[in-house]
Chains A and B, each alone.
Chain A
Amino acid sequence: MNNINNKLKKDQNLAMVIVGDRCIGCDACYVACKTDWDVPALKEAYRTKVWEVEGKDQQGNPTIGFLPTLCNHCDNAPCVDVCPTGASFKRDEDGIVLVEPDMCIGCKACMIACPYDARYYNEHEQTVDKCTFCLPRTSVGLDPACVTTCVGESRNFGDVNDPESNVAKLLKEATTISRLKEDEGTLPNVYYVTVNY
C-alpha cells in the first residue's frame, strides 16, 4: 500500500473505499445524494450512480454485479488540468476536487476530460457539478450522504493517512484492491476492494 497516494503532500488523504460485493444495487445512494444536494430532476443529472453490470462466466452462465460510481477525486485530475478558469481545483489539504460555481463558465471541457463521466451540467445553477465527497457534511462531522444511507454498508469514507480509519483498515485487510481506469494515470481516490472477514 505504500505506493498508493503518496504523490501529493496532503494533510489528509481522503478516499472512498467500496467493498464491491456488499453493494446490493438498491440505489439508496443515488436518491440520498440527489436529495441532499438538490441535483436537478433529470436522469442525466447525478453525482453518484450504481451500474448493474451483466456478464458471463467461463461456462457461459449469466453473471451480474453492481458498480457504484462517483467522482474519483484524482490526484492527477484531468478535469483540473483542462479547466480554463481555475473553477475546477483540487484542495491541497485533503485532495478533494471541487468546482467553484462562481468561476465556472460552463464550457464543459472538464466533462469531456473526465474519464469517469463523473460530471454533469446543472442547468439551474449554470455550472458544472459533481461529487464533493460531501465536503459540507464532513466539515460538520457527518459522513457523506451516500455512505450514511448505504444499505449494504458497501461504501466507506475517510482518511487513508490515518491508520485507525475505516478506509485505511479496509485497504490493509483487502484481498483485492482496484481502481477504475488506472491506466489513464489519473491516480483515483475511489477504491474497490474485496475483503475476507
Chain B
Amino acid sequence: MSRHNINRRGFLKLAGVSGIAATAGMTGLPSPLKANAKKEAIKGARFLKYDRGVHSASFCEMCFWNCGVDVYTRDGIIHKLEGNKLNPNNRGHICAKGNAGIQSTYDPDRIQSPLIRTGKRGEGKFKKVSWEEAYSYVFDKLDPLVKKYGPETLATFMHGTGEQYVHMFSAALGTPNITVPAYSQCMGSREMAWALTFGTGVSGHETFDMANSKHMMIFGRNMAGAVQVREAEDFSEGLARGSKLTYIDPRQSESAVNATDWLQLKPGTDMALALGFIHVILRDNLANMDFVRKYCYGYNELLEHAKQYTPKWASEKTGIDAKTIERIAWEFAKDAPNVVAIPPRRMTRYGNDTQTVRTIAILNALMGNWGVPGGVFVRTAVPLDLPHHEHPPAATARRADGVGEGEKYPFAPPSLGRTNGIYEATLTQKPYPIKAWMLYGTNPISHSSVGVNNLYKAMDNLDLIIAIDTQFSDTVMHADVVFPESTYLERDDAPYIAKDKVPFVALRRAAIKPIYDTKGCYDICKGISEKFGLQKWFEHSPHHKIEEFVSILSDEQKETLEKDGTLLFEDVDPYPGASGNHLKFATTTGKVQLYVKDLDELYEKEGDEFSPMPIYKDVIAPKKDEFRMLFGRTPHHSHARTMNNWILLELQDDTPIWMNPKDAKYLGFKNGDMVKLVNTDTGFTSHPEALKVTKRIKDGSVFVHHGFGHQTKAWSRGFDKGTSENDFISDGIDPISGAAAFHNGFVKVVRA
C-alpha cells in the first residue's frame, strides 16, 4: 500500500531545498522579520480562535451504516463533519470515509444535472436535459416495455437511504423484481444461516457484544479494517478490556494485530475448523448444557454427527495443528457464555457459505451466549406507535430470480431478492424477458458481481437502463438516462428509526442547498411516478416524514432530538438470557436449531449440500500454477464508491497484489516486481500491479483490496487506479441462500 512508502524527506529532496535549508539552519540567517516587534506581539494569536460554524444533524451515507453526524457549516460551506456523541452507531467517532463526506459532496466530477445518453452505451456521451425531459424519457421507453412484457420486465437495484422510494415505485408499477445487493452479493448466506438457526439474522449492525466479550472467535470478519464504526469500537474496547481474540483468516488483516491466536487456515476450510471445535466441545462435555437442554433442537443428532470431525481430521483440512484446535476449543468454552463466534460479513465466498455460518452459529448455541453480555445481544424496536402509510399491494407476478415458495431458492427473502439471479435472468431472458433496469446507488460493474463479461452481455439485452446516483460510476456510464441525486449533506431524509441494542432515532436535515441541479431520491421517484399516474404513493416527502415523526414525540423527546440529533430509548434489556427471562426463537421448531428441520425435504431430494447439520466437502482447489483470487475491504474506501474522493485516494490509490513468499520464490518474483493477473477461464489480463510479497497471505492465494480499477472516465482522479477483482472472481451460487460465491476464481500471475 502506498502509505507505507511515502517519504516526506524524499519530497523535500525533490523540492530541491535541503541544501538551502541546511545552510539556513546552520548559519542562522539574519532575518528582518525577527526584529519585527509587531509580529512578535501577535505571534500565535491566530491560533486562539475557532469558528465551529452552524450545526445541523445528519447521519452518514459514505457507507450504508449511517453513523450519526454533526455537520458544521461556515458561511454556507460545510467545514467539518464530526461523530454524533449519542448515536449508538458511532458514539462520537467517524471513520476516514465518514470524515471525507465533504470531499465527495464538493467533488466537481459529480453528476450535475439530468442526462440522456447520446453516444454508445458506456461511451460516456450524454446531453444535459431538463427534469421534465428525463422523466418523459423514462415513460416513453418504459411504458411500451411494460405494456408488452408486463411490469415485471423492470428490475430495480437499490442501496441507500432513498431506496424506500425506488421500492415504492417498483411496487406501484407492479414489478416483483426488487433487489437489494446487500443480500445476494454480500450478507445473504450469513443472514440465512443465522435465521435458520436462531430465527433472526445477525443484522446489518451486528448483534455481537464484543465490548463485553471474554473471547472473540472471529472467522474472516475484518472488524478493524472493514470499518463500521460501532463494530470497530466494540472490537477494540473488548480487546482493551482483555478479551482473547482468535482470528481466523488466510490473510493477516488489520484485525489480526492484537490476536491471541491468528489461525492462517487454508481458504474455504472455515467450516472444517468450526466442526473440529464442535467435536472437541461435545466430546469433552464443554457445552453449556443448561442452555442446550432448555433451548436447542437436535442436540443428540449433532452429538452423533460431530463424531466424524476429529481435531486430526480438521487439522488435515485446515492446516491448523490439532493441538491448537483442542486448546482453543477449551479456552473458548472455559469463558462461556461470555464468548462469541463471529461469522464473516460478506459471506459470498466458496458456495458452502450458508452451511459454514450454520456451523459457526452452532458454536454460539453450544456456548449458550444468546442474550448474554459478551455474547449475542438482543435488539428491541423503538417503543413508539409509528405513523403508518399505505403501501401498494405486493406484485403478483413470479420473480425472475428464483426466489419464492416453490422456486429454486425458497428460503431467500423476496423483499431483498437475488441480484445475481436478476443478472442471470437478464442474460438468459428467462424465465421471462427482463428489458429494463433501474439502478439506485448500485454499481454492478464495479461491485462484486457475476463475471463482468457476462454482465456486459446481459446489459446488451436491456432496452432501458435508468440510473439514480450522486456520481458517475462505471455502471452509470452505461445508463440511458441519469438522474443526479443530491448527497446526504444536501437533503432531508426520513428519520432513521433503529431496532437495536438501545433503540434510537436519528435525524438528517439538509446542511446546505444542493450545489448542482440535483434532487433527493424521493423527488426523482415521484417525478417518474407522476408520468405513470402513480403519484398517489408519494404523498409523504422526507421532510413531511420528519415533521410527522416529531409530532408523535413528547415535548421533552422533541427537544432532545432537535438539540442532539439522536433520541435514545434506553429502558430496554439487551441481555434477557443473563436476566433469566425466557428466550424466544422464531424458528420452525421454536428452538435454536442445531438441526434445521426446514431442510429435511431438500436434503432428501438434493443431497448433502442441504443437510440439516453441516456436512463438510472440500471446496474446488486451484490447479498447478494457479492461485485462488481473494479480496477484501480496505479501511480507506467504501465499497467501490469512494475511489474518486481525493483525500481517501491519498490514503490508498492502488492495489498491490499480495503473494506468499513461497509462491513468489517458486515463480521467481520478488517484492515490488510488476506483475499481471490472468483469469484462467476468460484469459482476461489485468494491467501491471506491484507484487507485495508477504507471509500475511496464505500460500496458494493472491489478495487485492476491493473496489478499485474503475474505467469511468468521468472520474478525473479515480480512473483506472488499481485492479478490479471483479474480472477474476467466480460466479458460483450458494445452494441454500442463493447468494453469490466469489472465492472460487483462479488466476495465473505473470511478469508484466
Contacts and interface: CB of A to CB of B under 8 A. Distances in A.
B240 interface: yes
Interface string B31-73: 1011010011011101111101000000000000000000000
B334 interface: no
Nearest to B83: A149
B240 to A, nearest CB: 6
A106 B22 CA distance: 12
Contact of A84 (B31, B48, B636): B31
A62 B264 CA distance: 11
Contacts of A112: 12, 18, 21-22, 25
B374 to A, nearest CB: 14
A136 B50 contact: yes
A174 interface: no
B647 A150 contact: no
A65 to B, nearest CB: 6
Contacts of B666: none
Contact of B242 (A30, A89, A197): A197
B694 A54 contact: yes
A180 interface: no
B59 to A, nearest CB: 16
Q: A-side binding surface: helix, strand, loop or mixed?
A: mixed
Given A24-B236, A26-B227, A87-B33, A51 B4 contact: yes
A52 interface: yes
B635 A62 contact: no
A197 B241 contact: yes
Contacts of B232: 24, 26, 151-152
B592 interface: no
B237 interface: yes
A179 to B, nearest CB: 20
B93 A136 contact: no
A90 to B, nearest CB: 10
Contacts of A121: 15, 17
A86 B252 contact: no
Contacts of A162: none
Contact of B6 (A28, A36, A44, A86): A44
Given A26-B227, A132-B47, A31 B96 contact: yes
Contacts of A132: 47
Contacts of B22: 109, 112
B50 A142 contact: yes
Contacts of A148: 82-83, 92-93
Contacts of B647: 31, 34-35, 41
Contacts of A87: 33
A26 B223 CA distance: 11
Q: How large is the interface on B (under 10, 10 to 19, 20 to 34, 35 or more residues)?
A: 35 or more
B40 to A, nearest CB: 7
Contacts of B39: 100, 102-103
Interface in A42-83: 42-44, 49-52, 54, 61-62, 64-66, 82
B553 interface: no
Interface string A14-25: 000001011011
A105 B31 contact: yes
A136 B79 CA distance: 15
A27 B636 contact: yes
B81 to A, nearest CB: 8
A62 B39 CA distance: 52
A75 B202 CA distance: 51
Contacts of A102: 39, 42
Contacts of A50: 3
Contacts, number: 215
A8 interface: no
A53 B227 CA distance: 19
Contacts of A28: 93-96, 98-99
Interface residues of A, number: 69
B528 to A, nearest CB: 36
A176 interface: no
B224 A25 contact: yes
Contact of B257 (A21, A89, A117): A21
A32 B81 CA distance: 8
B86 interface: no
B386 interface: no
A62 B257 CA distance: 10
A168 B40 CA distance: 33
A91 B44 contact: yes
A21 B239 contact: yes
B21 A109 contact: yes
B252 A41 contact: no
A52 to B, nearest CB: 6
Contact of B52 (A51, A84, A110, A140): A140
A2 interface: no
Contacts of B34: 84-86, 103
B256 interface: yes
B147 interface: no
Contacts of A91: 44
Contact of A24 (B1, B20, B254, B651): B254
- The CB with the most chain B CB atoms within 10 A, among A107, A110, A196, is that of A107
Interface in B640-661: 646-648, 650-651
Nearest to B697: A62
A114 to B, nearest CB: 10
B28 interface: yes
Contacts of A85: 31, 33-34
Contacts of B25: 82, 84, 107, 109-110, 112-113
A196 B241 CA distance: 7
B389 interface: no
A197 B257 contact: no
A98 interface: yes
A98 B40 CA distance: 13
Contacts of A101: 46
B80 interface: yes
A22 B257 CA distance: 10
Contacts of B9: 117
Interface string B73-116: 00000011111000000001111101110110000000000000
Contacts of B3: 27, 49-52
A107 to B, nearest CB: 4
Contacts of A25: 224-225, 254, 257, 635
A101 B22 CA distance: 20
24 contacts: A19-B240, A24-B227, A26-B96, A27-B636, A28-B98, A31-B99, A31-B100, A42-B650, A51-B3, A51-B4, A52-B4, A54-B694, A84-B24, A103-B39, A103-B43, A105-B33, A107-B24, A107-B29, A108-B12, A136-B47, A139-B48, A139-B49, A148-B92, A149-B99
| 9 shortest interchain CB distances as A-B pairs | A109-B25, A31-B99, A108-B21, A136-B50, A24-B224, A107-B24, A82-B25, A44-B11, A152-B236
Given A22-B236, A103-B36, A139-B48, 10 more contacts: A26-B232, A43-B2, A44-B6, A82-B25, A84-B29, A85-B34, A148-B92, A151-B227, A152-B236, A154-B236
